[in-house]
Amino acid sequence: MSPDSSLNLFRTSGAAISLPGFILNLVLAALLASLLGLAYTRFGRALSNRKAFAWNFLLLTVTTTLIISIIKSSLALSLGLVGALSIVRFRAAIKEPEELAYLFLAISLGLGLGANQPLVTLIAFGVIMGIVAVRHLLRRRAEPPNVYLTVTSPAPQKLTASQVLDALAQSGATGSLKRFEETPEQLEVSLLAVFPDVKKLEAFNQRLRELSGGVTVSYVEERGLGV
């Protein structure tokens, strides 16, 4: 084996992968995934725990970089990867379109770096993050929601989505419907709402209790409430 062979991490049928370049791409993947996580935590609007979800970007981006680096020069390995992934079943439901968009972006970063296109990947990432930041600044002109709330109403006194929204309006608050799930057993509605003060929130809660005694309301404050 020649002395230069230590610089090649893998050898495939068509080309060799440079170890320094491979390590550089992995480092860039980790760095960009971390920045993507910070952007998602800062600019995202999903109701889930954004900081916890953002941790997935690092592993997803680095893993994608590794896979593409190995299979990019070998048709046999590519076909083998397709066969291996065909037996994998993902059961986690992605309910927010925004979460799916960020996951695709993390995968795209891994694809670009795995294909050894760091400059194009860096430029594209910078442009996309610039668009996200500008959109966030423009969106802030409107009053952002200060409460994330989830209303769960079980049968037999199951509420409807229109009743929940009417109760919100009658209490003097404004909001938008983010998630709606209904089964024969219960209704679950998630909302982004703006309550001027705590009294309006209490009025909304009381109105729901009058409509359905078994209703459950979960509140998560985003910007705090006035008194």
Where a domain ends, among 139, 164, 191?
Answer: 139
Q: What is d(CA 163, CA 79) in angstroms, rounded to the nearest whole number?
A: 53
pLDDT for res 9: 45
Residue 227 lies in a domain: no
**pLDDT band with cut points at 50, 70 and 90 for residue 131:** very high
Do 77 and 131 lie in one domain? The reply is: yes
Domain count, the chain: 2
127/210: higher pLDDT: 127
203-225 pLDDT, tens digit each: 888 888 888 878 888 877 655 44
Q: Which of 178, 18, 7 is nearest to 98 (CA)?
A: 178
Q: Please, what is the average pLDDT of the chain?
A: 78
Where a domain ends, among 108, 139, 170?
Answer: 139
Do 20 and 92 lie in one domain? The reply is: yes
> In the chain, where does DSSP find H-type helix?
19-43, 50-71, 75-85, 97-114, 118-139, 161-170, 198-211
Q: What is d(CA 218, CA 11) in angstroms, rounded to the nearest whole number?
A: 55
CA 145 remoteness from chain centre: 19
Domain that holds residue 45: 3-139
Of 14-18, 21-25, 76-80, 85-89, which range is least confident?
Answer: 85-89
Where a domain ends, among 139, 157, 189?
Answer: 139
**pLDDT band with cut points at 50, 70 and 90 for residue 167:** confident
pLDDT for res 219: 75
Does the pLDDT of residue 14 top 50, yes or no?
Answer: no
103/92: higher pLDDT: 103
